[in-house]
Amino acid sequence: MSHLTVYLENDAHRPELSTADPALMTGHLAHNGILFERWAADVPLPASADGATVLAAYADPIERLKAARRYRTVDVVRVTPQTEGVADLRAKFLDEHTHDEDEARFFVEGAGAFHIHVSNRVFRVVCEAGDLLSVPAGTPHWFDMGRQPRFTTIRFFMLANGWVARPTGDSIAARFPPFETAAAKTA
């Protein structure tokens, strides 16, 4: 289930807010400049679906968002526990960083947790199938896919080279609890 937890940046143990209400999530995130929307993720995709198949299944909402937000390109990322180098891939995004453009993605399948560091707070947004999240350019954040990741996302880009992570050097991410997928909790 999609979920928002808001912490003071110096206290990862006592949340100020914890909610799964989509309207409250949308409003609270929008107040902080973060786009969160719920889309229908109701196209059944086989495990063997390639990026072109995923993009074709969601062509209409992709084109609407590209036009509305001036995104030029999209791609598809599918990560499972069997993905080659998955531990290194996870580690690559666990440190706080920024990008020169928005980080926007639509979750087609699975889940992951974004931690967004804004206004002396950390907004932990657990995204699942049907969630669109866009973190504004220059906003410090990190992404945790969990120890047993399983997700497919459509990523939206304004720049030809996509998101280039710029580490902030802040160790804040290490002070917050890791994201655990359902698969990791039962393992």
Residue 26 CB partners (closer than 8 Å, separation 6+): 36, 37, 38
Q: Is the pLDDT of residue 88 over 70?
A: yes
The contacts found for 38-41 with CB under 8 angstroms, 24 or more apart, are 38/2, 38/130, 38/131, 38/132, 39/106, 39/130, 39/131, 39/132, 40/130, 41/106, 41/107, 41/108, 41/109, 41/129, 41/130
Confidence of residue 187 (pLDDT cuts 50, 70, 90): very low
Residue 187 to residue 96: CA distance in whole angstroms: 28
Number of domains comprising the chain: 1
Mean pLDDT score across all residues of the chain: 92
Can you say how many angstroms the Cα of residue 72 is from the centroid of all Cα atoms in its chain?
19
CB 178 within 8 A of CB 145: no
Q: What is the CATH number of the domain that holds 90?
A: 2.60.120.10
pLDDT of residue 184: 52
Show the domain range for 90: 3-186
Confidence of residue 45 (pLDDT cuts 50, 70, 90): confident
Confidence of residue 83 (pLDDT cuts 50, 70, 90): very high
Confidence of residue 181 (pLDDT cuts 50, 70, 90): low
**Each residue's pLDDT tens digit, 129-167:** 999 999 999 999 999 999 999 999 999 998 877 778 899
Residue 143 phi/psi, 5° resolution?
A: -125, 130
Averaged pLDDT for residues 106-111: 95
